[in-house]
Structure 1
Amino acid sequence: MDRRQFLTLSPSRAARNSNAVARTATGLTPYTGSWGTQQLIHLLKRTTFGASPENIKALKGMGMQQVVDTLLTAQADPLPPVNNYGADSTGVAPGATWVRAAMGDDVLERQRIASYKAWWVGQMISQQASIHEKMVLFWHNHFVTETSTVHDSRFIYQYNLTLRHYALGNFKALTKAITLDPAMLVYLNGYLNSKGAADENYARELHELFTVGKGPDSHYTEDDVRATARVLTGFRVDRSAIVSTFNTTQHDITNKQFSGFYGNKVISGKTGPDGATEVDDLLTIIFAQPEVAKFICRKLYRFFVYYDIDQATEDNVILPLAEIFRSSGYDIKVTLNALFTSEHFFDPLNMACLIKSPVDFCIGLCREFGIVFPSDYTTQYARWTDLHNIMALMLQNLGDPPLVAGWEAYYQEPAFHELWINTATLPKRNQLSDGMITTGYKNVKIDPLAFADKLSNPGDPVALVNDSLDILYRVGVSDNVKTFLKDKILLAGQSTNAYWTSAWNNYKSNPGDAANTKEVTNHLQALYKYIMNLSEYQLS
């Protein structure tokens, strides 16, 4: 596959906008086809960052439902980020966490935010066989905040915890938690929303971006936005306690009328502390609207399956999935289970059809090759920061999506995922993978010997090539490519497979043989460098 083919992998945009021919007619019927390594790795690639050999081995003996159950198991909160930056004017010692400390000055807050971003990268790298970490990223792209705007590291960390706590729980509960989250209150000016001067920023995004969306059947009105803003008056942030509060004197106690789209419902104004409960009345009205489930299911679909939703997919996948979402009371886990066990998810047309996001590319590379990071926290955080920074250069700056709508590749028609790849970002991807497999990138590198040793039979060059491609690619390659990888790279032109087998066995039995070990290493470095430089490596 050449670069031109790679950059035009998706159907033509004219065809993409036509519903005359369905891309696939499969739906949510439970998948009953083959369940093997190919299907397992597809599931892992979409639900975690990369498919590590350890995860593949651990899950390989399980049935599909058992694997999905494992992946949908929520994880405990990780240890919080620590002071990796040194002097702290609020008294946080090096190596101690700053998440409950007093707010610092601008310089200190920038240092802590950098610490937070590095820490988040670390959580992604060390994730278990669970979708939890990927769901945190999904919800971050949905309920967007930006660290550059919030600029309170404690609030930013608390926002991440909010996403974690509800990532696989109830979407309505998550929406309420985010509505009252201190970081969101600051980001969209909710903490300034007062009676007589209602701020509509969050109210507008609650409808347009967070719940009912802008689909063809979403008809909320400007009056709905204004009524919502009045419901949300009075909420404030307490920077000492690091929580949100409710100021009864700043709450609009008048009745709030909603449009016919929301059944002409009226929220009766409440006084005193009861005013805070109007949020529950608001969400009850919004979540009674079927558009909520359809909007969120489309976003889940584009993130985990494919970016293009034609009429067949809308009818066969989105609408029945939305019905499951609604009937379950907006249970995220139940909905994902239906998607990940469906014939549509395992349809061959839905494999290897997404360009990896920068996070998928960078974190997946680290996890699949089992890259070992330093154990001392100062160097560890520095290396995690390096990885964060290269992802930002590839257009995905964790903590700071470019817009309140999130990263454009997840919603911008007609390009969607193609936006990740351009003349600036593709070379950066290649530079990272080239550096990782050769001299190292920022003192972090792939150990090709350790990776090969995890495969089924690394002494057999045919098995080594096949096993490597199974893990690192999601699209098949020709026999000619496989022959090239074996004959020209592993065998270096030697006529028989025995050359590689002998070299590998010698390395295993006598790793102290520096010349042979270097030779084996060089061949493996060349193999994986070539594999990662091909366009197929960019696909998930």
Structure 2
Amino acid sequence: MDRRSFLRKNTDVLTAPALAAAPLPARPTAADDDEPISKFANKQLPTTARSTAGLAPYTGTWGYTQAAHLLRRSLFGPTRTEIVAAAGRTLTQVLNDLLTAPAAPAPPLNVSATDTSVAVGQTWVTQAFDQNFEGVRRSSLRAWWLGQMLGQTMSLAEKMTLFWHNHFVVELGDINDARFGYQYAALLRQHALGNIKQLAKDVTVNPAMLRYLNGNQSTAGAPNENYGRELLELFTVGKGPLIGAGNYTTYTEADVQAAARVLTGWRDSAANLNSYYTASRHDTTTKQFSAAFGSASIANGGDQEYKALIDLIFAQPETARFLCRKLYRWFVYYVIDATTEQNVIEPLAQLLIQNGYNVGPVLRTLLSSEHFFDSVNMGCVIKSPIDFTLTVARQLQITFPPASSVVAQYGMWDYLNGITNLQQQVVGDPPNVAGWAAYWQTPQYYEIWINAVTLPRRNQFTDQMISTNGYTRNGAKINIDALALVLALPAATASDANLLIAELTRLLFPIPLTANQLAYLNDVLLPGLPDFEWTDEWTQYLANPTNVAKKTAVTTKLQALLRSMMGLAEYHLS
């Protein structure tokens, strides 16, 4: 497979300025593809003034609004309980939790009778490879991964695991071994909040990556350049300004070739479920790098030589800058103007270098900064399909089957993966080696998530979840229990129409609604009726909760309210 074909679809991006365009290439668009980019999306980067604040610690008001902003960017769909709890603590205490890695989860389980290698409810991750079982194992892996995000703790670990998946990309369908896919996912989670340089070393010889970028085929006589090229362009230093055919200020074509020779000799073993080094396949000559790397050379180092390559690359300051820009676009916003580059990116890069490429201090500094909490950076991100879908599930308290019903549980996780796939994002399979285009494709960026294909899919999902019927699979049903959601609110809030709408608004939207929007929602809840009618109906229901008519009356109104709220444009923002 030619994983570089997408580069030839938009060659103008290749020479765009690094600061303004984050120069990564465009995703391919076949004639029969679903619409990838709305015709209404940006034609140029927004010129709206951005924050001039830097990384000084935020010392302003700390309450529900600030806690919600932090958790929306750090978690997938923070619940009201999580936001209220965070608002009652200090910012430092909340960040301490967010930057604490949880214990590694148990591996994915078999939930299909097709896979006869293990019983249903047991793990398949160490079983022998069998092409007949690959499809159901891969589905199990995707479902499990989605389940980890859905059941996240108060930690950045899952958000960062997905970040690294979008950065050190592999596609599960291409590697064709779900066991290697699990090892890859476990590696990302292990280093999610840890050392980026060590992650780069480990992923370089990870079996899934060796397969995906053909490192397992690279020999002294025929060095394969795929991984060496992506390591430089997409994973580490990135492209600086173009200075010649295939040459950039940050690396040259000769550096790609030298890196490829360093990486020769590695293979993967399906039988032993690992990677291994074969000395006879390794290029033992000295590898010479360009002036971009200080004209350094790497002598033969056998199976340790790849580590010297990673050390050389991470010795370049531009590697830290490149990584910090990607973190910024993941957590804050996609426009990085000259002020942000100077006040945020550069000091973050220096901090990353000073901390030996441990990502924790960088995340703590960014997420506790005046810049992060500037109002201009609130509500400016369009939720990814995964974030959107999990936010619906978590914030609106959909109840999923328990672990004791493993087939039903995995079935619902698999269903959510299907929903995100329809919205053009599925865990385990970014569209190409550059990752999801919303994080690099200039000038559209996040706007790519919303188009004529994906917006109806989002609305169909929320409409289905708010309906009484919901979705049923394997004898289990999931839907939004609007009544239970409101019953969990303070009694005085639940019984007052305007307080109820206000409370749901601050949970579901990252920016305030207008007076007209609030009046519209009030009319949805109480069409043509005075506010006290809600108080009366709610009180009557509480007095007689088993009365079907009274229960139906309030449930129907709440479902209509939530459906309308989820239909607003602001609901797609984070």
Question: Do both proteins adopt the same fold according to a TM-score greater than 0.5, normalized to the shorter chain?
Answer: yes
CA distance in 2 between counterparts of 1:476 and 1:527 reads: 17
Cα distance, 1:377 vs. partner? 1.2
CA distance in 2 between counterparts of 1:214 and 1:310 reads: 18
Any idea what SS the aligned residue of 2:478 has? Answer: coil
CA distance in 1 between counterparts of 2:464 and 2:471 reads: 5
Tell me if 1:495 matches 2:495. no
Cα deviation, 1:190-247, whole Å, max 9, x if unaligned, reads 1111111111110110000000011337420111111111111111112122111111
CA distance in 1 between counterparts of 2:63 and 2:531 reads: 31
Amino acid corresponding to residue 502 of structure 1 in structure 2:
D
Correspondences of 1:270-309 after superposition (within 5 Å): 270=301, 275-309=302-336
Cα deviation, 1:348-402, whole Å, max 9, x if unaligned, reads 0001111110001001110111111122111221111111011111110211111
Q: Where does residue 4 of structure 1 map in the other structure?
A: none
Any stretches of 5+ residues in structure 1 without a counterpart? 1-6
Counterpart pick for 2:252 among 221, 231, 241: 221
Any idea what SS the aligned residue of 2:268 has? Answer: strand
Contact 2:115 2:136 (C-alpha < 8 Å) held by counterparts = no
Any idea what SS the aligned residue of 2:256 has? Answer: helix
CA distance in 2 between counterparts of 1:496 and 1:370 reads: 26
Cα distance, 1:15 vs. partner? 6.1
Amino acid corresponding to residue 187 of structure 1 in structure 2:
Y
Contact 1:53 1:455 (C-alpha < 8 Å) held by counterparts = no
Counterpart pick for 2:99 among 69, 72, 84: 72
Change (3 A) 1:466 1:294: same
Contact 1:212 1:218 (C-alpha < 8 Å) held by counterparts = no
Amino acid corresponding to residue 504 of structure 1 in structure 2:
W
* Structure 1 range deviating more: 169-178 or 55-64: 55-64
RMSD over aligned Cα atoms: 1.7
Correspondences of 1:68-467 after superposition (within 5 Å): 68-89=95-116, 91-105=117-131, 107-216=132-241, 218-270=249-301, 275-375=302-402, 376-438=405-467, 439-442=469-472, 443-456=477-490, 457-467=493-503
Counterpart pick for 2:513 among 477, 489, 493: 477
Contact 2:109 2:124 (C-alpha < 8 Å) held by counterparts = yes
Amino acid corresponding to residue 281 of structure 2 in structure 1:
Q
Contact 2:265 2:277 (C-alpha < 8 Å) held by counterparts = yes
Correspondences of 1:527-538 after superposition (within 5 Å): 527-538=561-572
* Structure 1 range deviating more: 231-240 or 409-418: 231-240
Any idea what SS the aligned residue of 1:109 has? Answer: helix
Any idea what SS the aligned residue of 1:236 has? Answer: strand
Cα distance, 1:56 vs. partner? 1.5
Q: Where does residue 523 of structure 1 map in the other structure?
A: 557
Cα distance, 1:514 vs. partner? 1.3
Any idea what SS the aligned residue of 1:157 has? Answer: helix
Amino acid corresponding to residue 505 of structure 1 in structure 2:
T
Tell me if 1:39 matches 2:66. yes
Any idea what SS the aligned residue of 1:205 has? Answer: helix
Change (3 A) 1:55 1:15: closer
Contact 1:83 1:94 (C-alpha < 8 Å) held by counterparts = yes
Correspondences of 1:4-23 after superposition (within 5 Å): 13-14=43-44, 16=46, 22-23=49-50
Cα deviation, 1:285-327, whole Å, max 9, x if unaligned, reads 1111001010011001111100111111111111111111111
Contact 1:215 1:295 (C-alpha < 8 Å) held by counterparts = no
Contact 2:172 2:181 (C-alpha < 8 Å) held by counterparts = yes
* Structure 1 range deviating more: 209-218 or 329-338: 209-218
Contact 2:239 2:251 (C-alpha < 8 Å) held by counterparts = no
Identical-pair percentage: 47
Contact 1:432 1:441 (C-alpha < 8 Å) held by counterparts = no
Amino acid corresponding to residue 99 of structure 1 in structure 2:
V
Any idea what SS the aligned residue of 1:345 has? Answer: helix
* Structure 1 range deviating more: 390-399 or 438-447: 438-447
Any idea what SS the aligned residue of 1:76 has? Answer: coil
Contact 1:305 1:345 (C-alpha < 8 Å) held by counterparts = yes
TM-score by length of 1: 0.94
Change (3 A) 1:460 1:215: farther
Q: Where does residue 6 of structure 2 map in the other structure?
A: none
Amino acid corresponding to residue 521 of structure 1 in structure 2:
T
Contact 2:398 2:479 (C-alpha < 8 Å) held by counterparts = yes
Amino acid corresponding to residue 495 of structure 1 in structure 2:
P
Q: Size of the alignment, in residue pairs?
A: 522
Change (3 A) 1:218 1:518: farther
CA distance in 1 between counterparts of 2:366 and 2:319 reads: 17
CA distance in 2 between counterparts of 1:175 and 1:221 reads: 20
Contact 1:53 1:454 (C-alpha < 8 Å) held by counterparts = no
Change (3 A) 1:449 1:403: same
